[in-house]
């Protein structure tokens, strides 16, 4: 029986990385898909652990070969989910976690209707701005662009299966774990 494809997305600064890292620690059997990107690594990021860092030319070649389950150009850089390892993990019966943006999540749902989409919400737009600013990786202009994008991303929430507020990381992870249990018990999905 194929595994569960769980997609967690939401606006930049919603805490996707923090929530997904804790989820992976609590659910070590989850296979985590590492996205490819053309953006440079942020301080502390490790190639092959956080992202597969590639050139724009390499990324475009992979697009042409159909190597991505989803891909998008966001804030001037490409991001994408390599298709083959995700499909292999699902066929092995492993649950797969994708931490991707809303554009990518909608592409995945279109190609893989059984995917479970979880939209991670920040407590408020002011808290979202504070989180992005605290990261210290963006210019004022980039912060403004991310906040504008967040408003556009919120418009896609109704295309998702679930929405989880991230005002408490532990509680957000517990809710996602409950979603996974519920989905595995759903009639017609196995479990």
Q: Which residue has the higher pLDDT, 154 or 80?
A: 80
Name the band, by pLDDT with cuts 50, 70 and 90, for residue 125.
low
What average pLDDT does the segment 42-52 reach? 91
What average pLDDT does the segment 169-183 reach? 97
pLDDT above 50: residue 190: no
Residue 24 C-beta-side C-alpha neighbours within 13 Å: 15
Name the band, by pLDDT with cuts 50, 70 and 90, for residue 63.
very high
Domains of the chain, earliest start first: 5-185 (3.40.50.300)
Query: What is the number of other CB atoms lying within 10 angstroms of the CB of residue 75?
Result: 13
Q: For residue 48, with 0-12 CB atoms within 10 Å meaning exposed, 13-18 middle and 19 or more buried, which class applies?
A: exposed
């Amino acid at each position: 029986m194929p595994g569960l494809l769980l997609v967690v997305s939401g606006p930049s600064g919603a805490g996707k990385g923090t929530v997904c890292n804790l989820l992976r620690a609590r659910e070590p059997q989850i296979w985590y898909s590492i996205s490819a990107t053309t953006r440079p690594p942020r301080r502390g990021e490790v190639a092959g652990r956080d992202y597969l860092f590639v050139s724009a030319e390499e990324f475009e070649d992979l697009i042409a070969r159909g190597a991505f389950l989803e891909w998008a150009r966001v804030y001037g850089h490409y991001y994408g989910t390599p298709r083959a390892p995700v499909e292999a993990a699902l066929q092995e019966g492993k649950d797969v976690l994708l931490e991707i943006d809303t554009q990518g999540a909608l592409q995945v749902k279109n190609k893989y209707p059984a995917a479970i989409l979880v939209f991670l919400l920040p407590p408020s737009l002011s808290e979202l701005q504070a989180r992005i600013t605290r990261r210290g990786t963006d210019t004022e202009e980039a912060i403004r662009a991310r906040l504008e994008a967040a408003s556009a991303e919120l418009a896609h929430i109704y295309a998702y299966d679930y929405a989880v507020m991230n005002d408490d990381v532990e509680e957000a992870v517990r809710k996602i774990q409950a979603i996974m249990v519920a989905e595995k018990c759903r009639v017609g999905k196995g479990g």
